[in-house]
Amino acid sequence: MNQWKKTLYVTWAAETICLMGFSFALPFLPYFIQDLGLTDKASVALWAGFLGTATPLMLVISAPFWGVLADRFGRKIMLTRAMFSGCVILALMAVVRTLGQLLILRLVQGVLTGTFVAAVALVASQTPAENSGYSLGLMQTAVYVGSSLGPLVGGLASDAWGYRYSFLVSSMMLGLSGLMILLGVNEKFMPGKEEEVRASIKEKVKESTPQFNLMLLLTILFIFQLSGTIVSPVMPLFIQEMSLSPRFLASAAGSILATAGVASIISAVVVGRLGDRTGYDRILFPLLFAAGLLYLAQATSRTPGQLLLWRVGYGLAAGGILPLVNSLINLASEREHLGKTFGVVGSISALGSGMGPVLGGTISSLLDVRAPFLFSGLLLLLSGFTFWAVEFFLRKETARR
pLDDT at residue 207 in the model? 46
User: Mean pLDDT throughout 261-272?
Assistant: 77
Whole-angstrom Cα distance, residue 146 to residue 170?
Answer: 12
**What confidence category does residue 398 fall into, taking pLDDT thresholds of 50, 70 and 90?**
low
pLDDT band at 208 (very low <50, low <70, confident <90, very high): very low
The dihedral built from the CA positions of residue 209, 212, 218 and 219, taken in this order, carries a sign that is: negative
Residue 177 Cα to chain centre, angstroms: 17
Signed CA dihedral, 69, 73, 76, 82: sign only: negative
DSSP notation for 117-150: HHHHHHHHHHS-GGGHHHHHHHHHHHHHHHHHHH
User: What mean pLDDT value characterizes the chain?
Assistant: 80
Q: How many CB atoms lie within 10 A of CB 316?
A: 21
Higher model confidence: residue 194 or residue 5? Answer: 5
At 229-242, the pLDDT tens digits run 888 778 877 887 77
∠ CA(331), CA(15), CA(112), 5° rounding? 90
pLDDT at residue 199 greater than cutoff 60: no
pLDDT (mean) for 248-260: 71
Q: What is the pLDDT of residue 201?
A: 40
How much is the pTM? 0.67
What is the rounded radius of gyration, in angstroms, for the C-alpha atoms of the chain? 20
Quote the pLDDT of residue 204.
44
Say whether 319 sits in a helix, a strand or coil: coil
Per-residue pLDDT at 211: 52
Specify the pLDDT at position 364.
85
DSSP structure class, residue 98:
S
**Cα–Cα distance, 91 to 89 (Å, whole number):** 5
Tens digits of residue pLDDT in 113-158: 888 878 888 888 888 766 777 787 788 788 778 877 887 788 778 7
pLDDT of 80 reads 95
Spatial neighbors of 95 by CB under 8 A, at least 6 apart, are: 164
Q: 200 falls in which pLDDT band (50, 70, 90)? A: very low
Residue 89 confidence class, pLDDT cut points 50, 70, 90: very high
Residue 205 is predicted with a pLDDT of 42
Better-predicted residue by pLDDT, 127 or 381: 381
Please state at what angle helix 321-331 crosses helix 132-161, rounded to 10 degrees: 140
pLDDT interval class at 74 (50, 70, 90): confident
- 81 pLDDT higher than 70: yes
Helices (H), 196-303: 199-208, 214-230, 235-241, 249-278, 281-298
Distance from the Cα of residue 234 to its chain's centroid:
17
As a whole-number percent, the residues of the chain with pLDDT over 70 amount to 84
Question: Which string of DSSP letters, residue by residue, matches 343-399?
Answer: HHHHHHHHHHHHHHHHHHHHHHHHS-TTHHHHHHHHHHHHHHHHHHHHHHHHHHHHH
Question: What is the predicted pLDDT for the residue at 303?
Answer: 83
What is the rounded distance in angstroms from the CA atom of residue 172 to the CA atom of residue 188?
28
* The pLDDT of residue 295: 92
Mean pLDDT of all residues in 186-214: 52
- CB distance 317 to 294 below 8 Å: yes
Q: If pLDDT is split at 50, 70 and 90, which confidence band does 396 have?
A: low
Handedness of CA 367, 372, 373, 379 (dihedral sign): positive
Quick: pLDDT tens for 312-369. 899 888 888 888 887 777 776 666 666 667 777 777 877 887 788 888 888 888 888 8
For the cut 80, the answer to whether the pLDDT of residue 192 exceeds it is no
- Structural domains present in the chain: 3-187+198-400 (1.20.1250.20)
